[in-house]
Amino acid sequence: MKLKIQQVTQKLPEVLIIPILKDQLENSLQEVEEWSGVKADTLAADFDGNFKKVHSFYNVDSPSNKKIILLGLGSEPNFPNTLKAFRMIASKMKAKLPKSLGVYFSQNWTKETIFPNLLEAAVNGWVMGHYNVGLYKTSNKKSKKTVPTVSWLLDQKIDTLHRKALTRGQACAETQASILDLVNAPANHKRPKVLADWAKKSAKANSFQCKVLDKKQIEQLKMGAFLAVNRGSEDPPHFIIMEHKPKKKNVKKIGLIGKGITFDTGGLSIKGSHNMHYMKSDMGGAAAVLGAMELIAKLDLPLHVIGIVPTTDNSVDALSVKPGDVVTSYSGKTIEIIDTDAEGRLILADGIAYMNKNFSPDIMIDLATLTGSCVRTLGYQAGGLFTDNEDLAKGLLEAGENTGERLWRLPLWDAYKKGLESDVADVRNLSTKPLAGASVAAKFLETFTDEHKAWAHLDIAGVALGNTEMGKGMNATAYGVRLLVEFLENL
């Protein structure tokens, strides 16, 4: 997609989108009156500047500018709202875009010190709004991803911050779109190898390192918990290791781990069939890590970042792991598998232990669509955050608010560990009590962190999918990509 940025001139594009802040309604409409000849009072009767409110009209007096679209941003012009408003207008307009289109930001916007950040949000939302959820519609084949040039018009001189906002917004949206494709893909088009190939391709294109361990290597490393989940699968497991190393030396080392279950049937502890199709998104944590690695490399963040994704499906087969089986994890700790549907924590146990032992990161964050309990607690509004590290909590919560990819902190008290004591093994994967499932799962993972001082677990079961304007049903959100990058940039 082609995006241009320039100072506004007298000759306006055929169609002009004007984002308007509610607090600046009067003088904004005054300016629109000067351009269009339509009285500000008349416009005010139809348009109040409320969030996501749209009013469009024809500009009959102008030789070039034929149509003006007012876009309400409400009273809080922050990153998430700007992103959402532009995503909405783009997805509304994408079916038939005019040849010449502009987005105009008046001084009400450009005078704000956070304007470059808002411009980035607008560009990110605009590009992402063109996402096409109909991955396998035969009618979409040709028209897919063709977007005409859009001019971003400011009423002041363009500087490097503006240009940077444009490239960053676009870079982020393109990675997010690729992640949406990955999460929206059904399991028959998303075998574990597909995730591994995605990682390799992205590594090549964006110059980061990527190594994928195959089944033999995983066996040699004795990842017994990960292998247990793969037993019922038609496909071999893959253990993806990505690494971004900046030129700058003595930088912080960050470890990211993502749950990469390409489909979760529950295994022998099989799930009910109602809504089981959504379990194609049980690799939402992996998607966040893959996308974050790509964006970290694109932006060349001055941090040493390692991304790990263990990936397999969790299926039913004669060979499937059985409830009651005891396995030895990569850490050496034994696990009694009471419920084969609590498989995410098994593959993460090995992912986390591997990360810690082989990379000793300063900060370790895992992301996983881990529990239905977290969905029941927070709904689709936020991911659950579990950590004992106050700085980490603060940074992640802030990044969540800034990006609109919200987090809410939930407890990680030792009391939740009690139910995980096993008679026969070091730990069991299901609590004896059906309570506080998200906290118990986090406690299980903690067992494999070797008491790491800066570890956080993000349960994103409720936010990996959402009711976005991109589709009618639940579809991918790319949650976590932007959140992780925002968090890391602010370190």
What amino acid positions are annotated as catalytic residues?
Answer: 271, 345
Helices 79-93 and 115-128, packing angle to 10 deg: 30
For residue 67, what is the DSSP state?
Answer: E
Check binding of 405 to ligand BES (CB under 6 A).
no
Query: Which listed range, 168-176, 295-303, 339-347, 477-485, lies at the site for ligand BES (CB under 6 A)?
Result: 339-347
Task: CB nearer to Zn ion: give 260 or 395.
Answer: 260
Tell me the closest approach of the beta carbon of residue 478 to Zn ion, in angstroms: 19
Check binding of 264 to ligand BES (CB under 6 A).
yes
Task: CB nearer to ligand BES: give 202 or 369.
Answer: 369
In this chain, which of 174, 282, 459, 486 binds Zn ion, going by CB under 5 A? 282
Distance CA 484, CA 174 (A): 16
Distance CA 190, CA 173 (A): 22
Query: Which listed range, 337-345, 352-360, 394-402, 475-483, lies at the site for ligand BES (CB under 6 A)?
Result: 337-345
In degrees, to the nearest 5, what angle opens at C-alpha 122 toward C-alphas 119 and 127? 125
Task: CB nearer to Zn ion: give 206 or 439.
Answer: 439
**Do the beta carbons of residue 103 and residue 17 sit within 8 Å?**
yes
In this chain, which of 212, 375, 425, 488 binds ligand BES, going by CB under 6 A? 375
Position 400, amino acid:
G
Task: CB nearer to Zn ion: give 47 or 263.
Answer: 263
> Binding marks (x or -) toward Zn ion, 241..280, rule CB under 5 A?
--------------------x--x----------------
Please give the C-alpha separations between residue 164 and each of 129, 171, 177, 407, in angstroms, as whole numbers.
Answer: 20, 10, 20, 27
Q: Tokens 């009694």, residue?
A: 336
Structure tokens at 491: 């370190």
Residues present in the chain in total: 491
Position 411, amino acid:
P
Element (H, E) at 239: strand 238-244
Check binding of 343 to ligand BES (CB under 6 A).
yes
Span 343-382, contacts to Zn ion by CB under 5 A: 343-344
**Do the beta carbons of residue 326 and residue 429 sit within 8 Å?**
no
3-class DSSP assignment, residue 173: helix
Tell me the closest approach of the beta carbon of residue 355 to Zn ion, in angstroms: 20
Query: Which listed range, 145-153, 175-183, 190-198, 368-376, lies at the site for ligand BES (CB under 6 A)?
Result: 368-376
Residue 117 site contact among ligand BES, Zn ion, none (CB < 5 to 8 Å, cut-off depends on kind): none
3 has which bridge partners?
A: 150
Residue 437 site contact among ligand BES, Zn ion, none (CB < 5 to 8 Å, cut-off depends on kind): ligand BES
Residues lying near Zn ion in the complex (CB under 5 A) are found at 261, 264, 282, 341, 343-344
